[in-house]
Amino acid sequence: MTQPSPEPQPVLAPLTAAAIFLVLTINPGGEAAVRDVFSDWAGLQRAVGFRAPGPPLGCIAAVGSQAWDRLFSGPRPAELHPFTELHGARYRAPATPGDVLLHIRHERMDMCFEFASQVMGRLAEMVTVADEVHGFRFFDERDLLGFVDGTENPVGAAAAVSALVGDADPEFAGGSYVIVQKYLHDMQKWNALSVEAQERTIGRFKLSDIEMADEVKPVNSHVAVNTLIDPDGTQRQILRANMPFGDLGRGEFGTYYIAYAATPSVTEQMLANMFIGRPPGNYDSILEVSTAVTGGLFFAPSADFLDDLPDPPGGPAPESEAAAGPAAEPGPADSSTVGTGSLGIGSLKRSTQP
């Protein structure tokens, strides 16, 4: 009898109006608390999501290479490794700290915020927040540069093939490799360009979202350098869930780039094309106005994996994974964070620097 395929986390869920991205590092001794939250991940989603009937709450937990062996015994995902920094002739894609990535999305920001609050209340003092971004839908699926983002995302069966691990690594089937980067845009420089110059930078027409013909599209446009075609003519794809974000007080505006893939090598090749160039020196012209300030690679295991975690390193887990003590209840936000848009729980803080 054929075994059922592992149930993935909601990697393939449609784009939403709101999202919170949290990149965490695990403090020494915090591993049991993180495992405890992972083991209750589905229950937390049900508890929070049930309070607002309608579109489901989609919450994804992913683990970085250096944290994997601190959390789990046994095999590890075959292609999980630290994010590789890229140093081109003019531009750099940095690697920044991160043990755990939380991608929380819903049509309502309050739902995202509540779930994140519950998680961070249980992880208080056990983790440090390396980065926190609150993303939002900007008009008709456009980024802050004014172009539609995610047009070429695969759909249906193609999305699953592109984003989820299959038979190549059966121990981790249903999982997905996730690469994240936070890009800050120089909006003053961008807005000084003519619409025609902006279109040549992206490789699409701004109003219609139609891709330029190959004979017109610049070879260093964003579309051109990010299109990967195999020798047999097959296009290699990833599943993006990018979101715009902004902070008016800081004058920071950008795109949170998040790409799910069955193998990180596809996303890594796209980034190499952007920052090193294809050929070298023919880098992505969008980097003239967009600067990557973070970079991380994680693995989002299947929902089944989270429901039945492997033993921790060194032997079976104790009866309660939260051996350090009872789970902390979320408390009121510190008054210094009120009105800032930050969760303000425990060590949670906003950060726009790697």
Which residues carry out catalysis? 149
HEC sequence for 60-77: EEEEEHHHHHHHCCCCCC
HEC sequence for 292-354: ECCCEEEEECCHHHHHCCCCCCCCCCCCCCCCCCCCCCCCCCCHHHCCCCCCCCCCCCCECCC
Amino acid at 202: I
Look-up: residue for tokens 């950008």? 254
Amino acid at 327: A
Dist. CA 295–CA 205, nearest whole Å: 29
Question: How many whole angstroms from its chain centre is CA 251?
Answer: 23
User: For residue 66, what are its two tokens?
Assistant: 């250096």
Helix H or strand E segment including 255: strand 252-261
Whether residue 342 contacts residue 132, with contact meaning beta carbons closer than 8 Å, is answered with: yes
Dist. CA 36–CA 32, nearest whole Å: 6
In order of 203, 218, 232, 281, the CA distances from 215 in angstroms are 11, 8, 21, 20
Q: Residue 340: which region, alpha, beta or left (left: phi > 0; alpha: psi -120 to 50)?
A: alpha
Q: What DSSP string runs through 60-129?
A: EEEEEHHHHHHH--S---TT--PPPPEE-SS-EE-----SEEEEEEESSHHHHHHHHHHHHHHTTTTEEE
Q: State the greatest distance between any 2 C-alpha atoms of the chain, in Å, as a whole number.
A: 64
